Amino acid sequence: MATDWFEAIDAYCERTDATLWSEPLNALSNLAFIAAFIASVYCYRRYREEAGQHRWEFVLLLGLLCAIGIGSFLFHTFATRWALVADVGPITLFQFAYLGIFCWHMLAPRWWVVLAGWAAFVVTTLLLAIPFPADYANGSSSYFSGLLFIALLGGYSHHAQKEGAWLVLLATPLFMTALLFRSIDQQACDAFPPGTHFLWHLFNGGMLYCLFAGLVAGSGPGGLQTRLLSAGS
């Protein structure tokens, strides 16, 4: 049977009908991703000034970060299958791109290290799908492997005393909080009709900026973290 790409999807508490602005909070809260994108662009510009290097891989992450905000906005307005792909696609690509770039810059600049990191992520995702089905925790189980790997990357950055390690570490509690609000969206409907999914966006915006800024700081010369985060230097 052919997929109906225009089939309406009602997945969140705030949506009460199929109209475009049925999820105003969920839609507008995607500005958190755009804010994270703008802050990350500034961070990358400071990196280029301080390190004197242009990194296409960081530009790729910036593009995907912007696409996450746009895709999520499309899904929470149009709420169709094609919009779902626009939402999930950039998130998936960002996960693999970030992990690969982290492995290259923070572990070792070897393709086998990148491939091993990707393989470990895929295997972990498949294994976690066994005890946690796709609909578990309002569909949040698909992000459990991402949470685990963010914690691992933060732990490694701290252990290796990388510049900006605290930013990567901070991404873990931010993502945990985001996942909590994503998971309880339906349960919160009676007490709070708009639901809590918009808070998933807000905390995720902060988490994504922390991941990007931590990676950039850890990839540059010593002391770069302080200069990246100092607007007056």
In a domain, 14, yes or no: no
- Full domain range(s) for residue 214: 24-228
What is the structure's pLDDT at 233? 41
**Cα separation, 216 vs 147, whole angstroms:** 20
Q: Does residue 120 lie in a domain region?
A: yes
Q: Which residues pair with 22 in a beta bridge?
A: none
Query: Residue type for 107, please?
Result: L
105 is in an annotated binding site: no
**pLDDT of the residue at 232:** 39
**Residue of 222, 198, 225 whose CA lies nearest to 30:** 198
Separation of alpha carbons 70 and 90, rounded Å:
9
Alpha helices by DSSP H, listed for 52-110, are: 56-78, 81-102
What integer pLDDT is reported at residue 231 of this predicted model?
42
Residue 1, pLDDT above cutoff 90: no
Residue 169 has pLDDT above 50, yes or no: yes
Q: For residue 225, what pLDDT is reported?
A: 54
Alpha-carbon distances of 164 from 34, 192, 193, 202, rounded to whole Å: 22, 37, 39, 22
197 is in an annotated binding site: yes
36 is a domain residue: yes
Residues 169-177 have a mean pLDDT of 98
> Residue 3's pLDDT band (boundaries 50, 70, 90)?
confident
Q: Is residue 16 part of a domain?
A: no
Q: What is the pLDDT of residue 103?
A: 97
Prediction pTM value = 0.93
pLDDT (0 to 100) of residue 51: 81
Give the chain's mean pLDDT.
93
Whole-angstrom CA distances from 14 to 3, 27, 151 are 26, 10, 31
For 8, list phi and psi in degrees, rounded to 5: -70, 145
Q: Which pLDDT tens digit goes with each residue over 205-231?
A: 999 999 999 999 998 765 455 555 554
Q: How big, in percent rounded to 5, are the helix, strand and coil portions of the chain? A: 70, 0, 30
Phi and psi of 22, rounded to 5°?
-80, -10
In a domain, 2, yes or no: no
Residue 153 identity:
L
Average pLDDT over residues 83-90: 98
For 8, the 3-state DSSP assignment is strand
Residue 52's pLDDT is 83
Q: What angle do CA 7, 13, 15 make, to 5 degrees?
A: 45
How far, in whole angstroms, is CA 109 from its chain's centroid?
A: 23
The pLDDT tens digits of the residues spanning 183-208 come to: 999 999 999 999 999 999 999 999 99
Q: Burial level of 177, CB count in 10 A (0-12/13-18/19+)?
A: middle
Instruction: Tell me what the mean pLDDT of segment 78-83 comes to.
Output: 97
Residue 193 forms part of a structural domain: yes
Query: Would you place residue 167 in the very low, low, confident or very high pLDDT band (cuts 50, 70, 90)?
Result: very high
Q: What is the pLDDT of residues 93-151, one digit of tens each?
A: 999 999 999 999 999 999 999 999 999 999 999 999 999 988 899 999 999 999 999 99
pLDDT in the model for residue 2:
72
Confidence grade of residue 50 (pLDDT, cut at 50, 70, 90): confident
Average pLDDT over residues 150-178: 97
Q: Tell me, what DSSP letter sits at residue 116?
A: H
Residue 170 domain-assigned (yes or no): yes
Q: What percent of the chain has pLDDT over 70?
A: 94
Task: Judge whether 10 lies within some domain.
Answer: no
Number of independent structural domains in the chain = 1
User: Dihedrals φ, ψ of 95, to 5°?
Assistant: -60, -50
Q: Look at residue 222 in the predicted model and tell me its pLDDT.
A: 57
Q: Are 80 and 8 in contact (CB under 8 A)?
A: yes
- Are 55 and 36 a contacting pair, CB within 8 Å? no
Distance CA 37, CA 24 (A): 21
